[in-house]
Amino acid sequence: MAFEMFRRPFLSLLLICLVADLADAQSNGVIRGQILVPSVRISERIQVILQRSDGPIVSRGFSDSLGNYEFRGLPPGTYDVVVNLEGYGEARQSVGIGTGLAGTQIVNIVLTEKERERNANDASSSESDVVDITELGRKYPRKVLDEYEKAREDNRKGNTARAGERLEAIVKAAPDFFAAHNTLGTIYQKMDRYRDAEREYNAARQLNPRSSQPLENLGSLYIQEADASRKTDPSNVGKILDNALDILDEAKKLNPRSVSAHYLLGLANYRSEFYEEAEQSFKRALGLDGRMPGARLMLANLYIKLQKWDNALQHLDAWLSDNPRAPERVQILETRAKVADRLRGK
């Protein structure tokens, strides 16, 4: 669920650099981001649903061929960004819209292939939607499994509170139910109940020490908490990011081929301004999944930030080569031209 949340969690920071000043000037709320799909299907237009956290759907839209999406004109409040794509687990991330600078929020969604999770030979470590219910039936009463299915359905329908209530009852009745603890953690994370989410992820971690999933979830949780704390408790941001770095480093060691672990570790390093380490992690994520456009563009953005213009050009050119018909080519070409000007101006 780490990708699913967060879940949290993450628009390509290259595009943020281009539009941040303009976005900050908007008087209405804006939610924008990128749907990151670890396959060639990134060229598809993907439906994105925006709904208030209390239930009503606010808007439906579609991403462009790069996965970028945007909702504008939003009043202050708490929203859920929801993505359902066949073959992938449901992604749902909560975000709060305030006023002024807090009125523009970045929400990136990374989708995880269900088949890839099944092939990991670790069904209990996968997200709730791909749990082998038949296998679970050997351990848990039918009533518990029925409630678990209902909780999943509530979650899919956006009834987060009801899903949480069901899952709370489930973990009391079956305290060794890994997937229930893991999913309950994601519910708490959507509600910004950080300590409760942390508790459930740690419970899942103890139940299945071989799974990197709870560690990745914890990492995404800490990144989300750090972002939220920048306005409310800025002195604590560094400590929270240190927690993210530690837990994601552990996840990477436990599952060296986890794209999400490397990507999230890169993001935590970037947030911490550890740019060399962020570069290594994004490169590793890209090496594991060469069609992950977010990693490519985040590397380009990183090099722009570091004024390594030739490296930035390399990744921009690679993106342009991989996306010959993308509508964003004009924007990326303009960015490339600006970077090329900087390179010539050395």
Q: What SS3 class is residue 250?
A: helix
**Cβ pair 272, 305 in contact under 8 A:** no
* Residues 6 or more apart whose Cβ sits within 8 Å of residue 279: 266, 299, 302
Its CATH architecture, for the domain 123-210, is Alpha Horseshoe (1.25)
**Cβ pair 269, 259 in contact under 8 A:** no
123-210 matches 2-122+211-344 in CATH topology: yes
* Residues 6 or more apart whose Cβ sits within 8 Å of residue 100: none
Question: CA-based angle 263:203:261, to the nearest 5?
Answer: 10
Q: What is the pLDDT of residue 103?
A: 63
- Quick one: which of 15, 33, 40 has its CA closest to 83? 33
Residue type, 282: F
Q: What is the pLDDT of residue 37?
A: 67
- pLDDT tens for the chain, 346 residues long, are 555 454 333 434 444 443 343 333 333 688 888 787 654 444 467 889 998 876 788 888 888 766 788 888 888 778 889 998 877 777 888 777 765 444 677 787 877 665 444 433 333 333 434 444 444 444 778 888 889 889 988 887 888 899 999 999 999 999 999 989 999 999 999 899 999 999 999 999 999 998 898 999 999 999 989 988 988 899 999 999 999 999 999 999 999 998 889 988 998 999 899 999 999 999 999 898 877 767 787 898 889 889 999 999 999 999 888 878 776 788 789 889 999 998 888 5
Q: What is the pLDDT of residue 309?
A: 93
Q: What is the pLDDT of residue 246?
A: 98
Q: What is the pLDDT of residue 44?
A: 62
CATH number of 2-122+211-344: 1.25.40.10
Q: Where are the domains of the chain?
A: 2-122+211-344, 123-210
**What is the distance between the alpha carbons of residues 51 and 261, in angstroms, rounded to a whole number?**
28
Count of H-run helices and E-run strands, the chain = 15, 8
Q: What SS3 class is residue 95?
A: strand
Q: What is the pLDDT of residue 163?
A: 92
Q: What phi-psi label fits residue 205: left (phi over 0), alpha (psi between -120 and 50 degrees) or beta?
A: alpha
pTM of the prediction?
Answer: 0.62
Residue with tokens 């996840």: 251
Residue type, 256: P
**Cβ pair 332, 320 in contact under 8 A:** yes
